[in-house]
Amino acid sequence: MRKNGRTARKLKKLAWRFKQPDWADNHGVMLPVKHKLVSPGIAREIYLGDYEAKEIEIISKRLADDDVVFEVGAGLGFLSAFCAKRTGAAKVFAYEANPELIQLIRETHAKNDVAPTLINALLAKGEGEREFHLESDFWASSAHRAGGRAITVKQLDLNAELARAKPTFLIVDIEGGEAEFFTGADLSMVHKICVETHPDVLGDRVLSEMFAGLVAQGFALDFSLIRKNVFFFHRVA
């Protein structure tokens, strides 16, 4: 029986009905299943290996051992842990605006024996503070979606952080903040970008303009790796 085959998946679905572990393997990364910040739906996705499946498919195919990773919107710490396992933690920088997730991200990193740089801040132009909206499902929390509980979070200057980290690979999932993020971002050192888009927040025109801006800077869309709203861009020599 293949590890990720149809029969194995059916057995896992059956097992889930009777017992849920505290942690589960999701594409080689141990993630929390029983935690107050992990909803039942996300917990099931983790257990079945479906959590952020589109992103991990792209990243696993395009991440090189010598890449320096700059992740914005770290969530549970899944992608930063995955990348740190391959490149080494010193070459992974993860940013998360939601202060309630920071301790959980640290626990995820510790569980996977990695310690990438983790910074609790929102990235935009200039330093200061920014209003951020917390939702019951952590993945929907955003500075660009109305609703939820409003809090004030620290804002760091995006280009100052890019200059400090000198990344080659950007991973961006910030719930509608992607257009603002790429407007004015200094991408001179970046060669690869994995971005989740949110057309329900931004609309087709804004996202089309964002894509056009990336192409104008020398990036090309990898048409072989379009996964619904997740896209991969790479710099063309």
* Residue in this structure with the two tokens 């991969």, named with its chain if needed: 232
- pLDDT tens digits, one per residue of 128-165: 999 988 888 787 777 777 777 888 999 999 999 999 99
What is the model's pTM?
0.93
Contact (CB, 8 A) for 153 and 176: no
- Residues in the chain with pLDDT values less than 70: 1-5
Burial of 170 (0-12, 13-18, 19+ CB in 10 A): buried
Distances (CA, A) of 98 to 8, 145, 167, 185: 35, 14, 22, 21
Write out the residue limits of the CATH 3.40.50.150 domain(s) in the chain. 52-235
188: three-class secondary structure by DSSP: coil
Q: What is the pLDDT of residue 3?
A: 61
In sequence order, which residues have a C-beta less than 8 Å from that of residue 126 and are 6 or more positions away? Answer: 155, 157
Q: What's the CA gap between 225 and 237, in Å, rounded? A: 19
Neighbours of 205 (CB within 10 A): 9
Burial of 56 (0-12, 13-18, 19+ CB in 10 A): buried
Q: What is the pLDDT of residue 1?
A: 47
- The dotted CATH code for 52-235 is 3.40.50.150
Q: Return the beta strands (E) in the chain as ranges.
A: 23-26, 29-32, 69-72, 92-95, 117-119, 122-124, 128-134, 149-157, 169-172, 192-196, 219-221, 230-235
Burial of 192 (0-12, 13-18, 19+ CB in 10 A): buried
